[in-house]
């Protein structure tokens, strides 16, 4: 999809990603537009699907999730049906924060949070391995976060 942004759209996207709670008045002041023009641009960015929503970014550890990990899931057989079933199940599991279909030996890559190691172990055995077609789970546990950003600024 080819979308053309002017400098105001780019600034709106940047500032809303940095702080979604910014008021329209403050946003308009920062980018140098009248509040009515700024609001219209935000609504147009939302209507076009560029801005999918506005959300609070939380600290998982302060919510009791001490473990963050990435799990690559291999399926056997890997078919449309097994993949669709897996995705349907995963979408109902709150510990899975993100799930992607990927290339390579594994079919899916997931970001998962857990209260502790035992909780994650039980999660793997009770939830993931119970999904038909899951043949292997390769987990990487995050030791520390060196960079975390949700800001994507268009050129």
Q: What's the CA gap between 73 and 62, in Å, rounded?
A: 28
Q: What are the start and end residues of each CATH 3.30.70.920 domain in the chain?
A: 61-141
Say which CATH topology domain 7-47 has: Arc Repressor Mutant, subunit A (1.10.10)
Average pLDDT for the chain? 93
How far, in Å, are 97, 103, 107, 120 from residue 75 at the CA level?
A: 20, 12, 6, 20
Instruction: Say if pTM beats, i.e. exceeds, 0.85.
Output: no
The pLDDT value given to residue 150: 83
Q: Which two tokens stand for residue 106?
A: 């594994």
Q: What are the start and end residues of each CATH 1.10.10.10 domain in the chain?
A: 7-47
What are 16-67's pLDDT values in tens digits? 999 999 999 999 999 999 999 999 999 999 999 999 988 888 889 999 999 9
The pLDDT value given to residue 148: 87
User: For the domain 61-141, what is the CATH code?
Assistant: 3.30.70.920
- Asked if the model's pLDDT at residue 1 lies above 60, the reply is no
Q: What's the CA gap between 33 and 50, in Å, rounded?
A: 20
Strand partners, 138: 72
The pLDDT value given to residue 58: 87
What are 91-125's pLDDT values in tens digits? 999 999 999 999 999 999 999 999 999 999 999 99
- Asked if the model's pLDDT at residue 87 lies above 60, the reply is yes
């Amino acid at each position: 999809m080819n979308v053309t942004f002017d400098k105001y759209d780019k600034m709106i996207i940047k500032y809303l990603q940095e702080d979604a709670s910014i008021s329209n008045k403050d946003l308009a002041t920062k980018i140098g537009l009248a509040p009515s023009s700024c609001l219209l641009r935000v609504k147009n960015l939302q209507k076009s699907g560029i801005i999918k929503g506005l959300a609070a970014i939380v600290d998982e550890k302060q919510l009791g999730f001490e473990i963050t990990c990435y799990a690559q899931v291999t399926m056997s057989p890997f078919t449309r049906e097994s993949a669709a079933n897996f995705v349907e199940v995963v979408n109902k599991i709150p510990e899975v924060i993100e799930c992607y279909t990927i290339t390579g030996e594994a079919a899916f890559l997931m970001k998962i949070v857990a209260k502790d190691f035992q909780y994650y172990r039980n999660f793997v055995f009770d939830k993931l391995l119970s999904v038909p077609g899951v043949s292997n789970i390769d987990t990487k546990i995050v030791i520390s976060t060196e960079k975390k950003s949700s800001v994507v600024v268009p050129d």
